[in-house]
Amino acid sequence: MQLYGTDISSRLLLGTAQYPSPAVLRKAIETSRAEIITVSLRRETADGSGAGFWELLKDSGCKVLPNTAGCHSVQEAVVTAQMARELFGTDWIKLEVIGNSDTLQPDVFGLVEAARVLCADGFKVFPYTTDDLVVGEKLLEAGCELLMPWGAPIGSGQGLRNPDALRAMRAHFPDVPLIVDAGIGRPSDATHAMELGMDAVLLNTAVAKAGDPALMAKAMAQAIEAGCNGYIADPMDPRDMAVPSTPTLGMAELI
C-alpha cells in the first residue's frame, strides 16, 4: 500500500487516545504491528505529560499522523494542522471538521474548503469524510490523494452501517486508497471492511476500551489481514440455492 508516495506494509492505522496507561498503549502498538499511529494535538499539549507521551510515540518507530480532532470550523482545523506540523515535524495530517456534536459527522462543506487550503500549503491530507461519492470527488479535486470514509459514528462500535455505499466508493474510485475510519467495534467489522475492497482501517476506541487492548490490537491486525487476503482471493458469489460440493457422477446405483 502506498500513501502519498510512502510504502506502508500494515493496513491497520491505530489511534493513541483513551488507553488506561502509557504502558498499555505501548503494548497495543507493538502487538498491532501498526506502522502509522494517529495523535491529537490537543492530547499532546493538554497537560504536563505531553513530553513523555511524545517520547513514547517516537520510541514506537511508527509514522505519526497528527489529527485535527475536535475542530468545528475551517479556520480552527487549518490553524491546528499548522501547529501540528510545527510540533510533530510532519506534513501529514488527518483532517477532521466536525459538523454535528451528537454524531460527530463531518461538515463536508468545511472539510472540502479546509482540504483545499491545506493541500495548497503543502500538507498531505487524510480527510475524515462521509461515504458520499460527490464529496469524495470534491476532496480529490482539492488535492487529497486518498479518502477516509466513516463506517459509523466515531466511537460507536456499530460496525459498517452502509456497506453498499462503501462498495460503491470502491467501484467509483478504483485507484484511490480508501481507509475506513470510525465505527469499527469488533475484528469482524474490520474484516468486513477489507472484504469490500478497502485498503486499510483506522481505529482507536475498539482497542483502547477493550478489556485487553493489546490482545484486541492483535486480533484487529489479524482480522484486517484475513479480510484483505479474502478480497484479493476473489471470493465466490452468494447463491440462492444449495449446490453439492461432491460430484454426482460415479455414485453407486441401487438396483
Phi-psi region of 240 (alpha: psi -120 to 50; beta: other; left: phi over 0): alpha
Residue 136 annotated as binding? no
Q: How far is CA 239 from CA 1, 162, 244, in A?
A: 32, 22, 12
Active site residues: 94
- Pairing type for strands 12-15 and 6-7 reads unpaired
Backbone angles phi, psi at 237, to 5 degrees: -85, 150
Residue 80 annotated as binding? no
- Report how far residue 100's alpha carbon sits from residue 130's, in angstroms, rounded to the nearest whole number: 13
Residue 15 annotated as binding? no
Residue 204 annotated as binding? yes
Residues annotated in a binding site = 155, 182-183, 204-205
Residues annotated in a binding site for 1-deoxy-D-xylulose 5-phosphate = 155, 182-183, 204-205
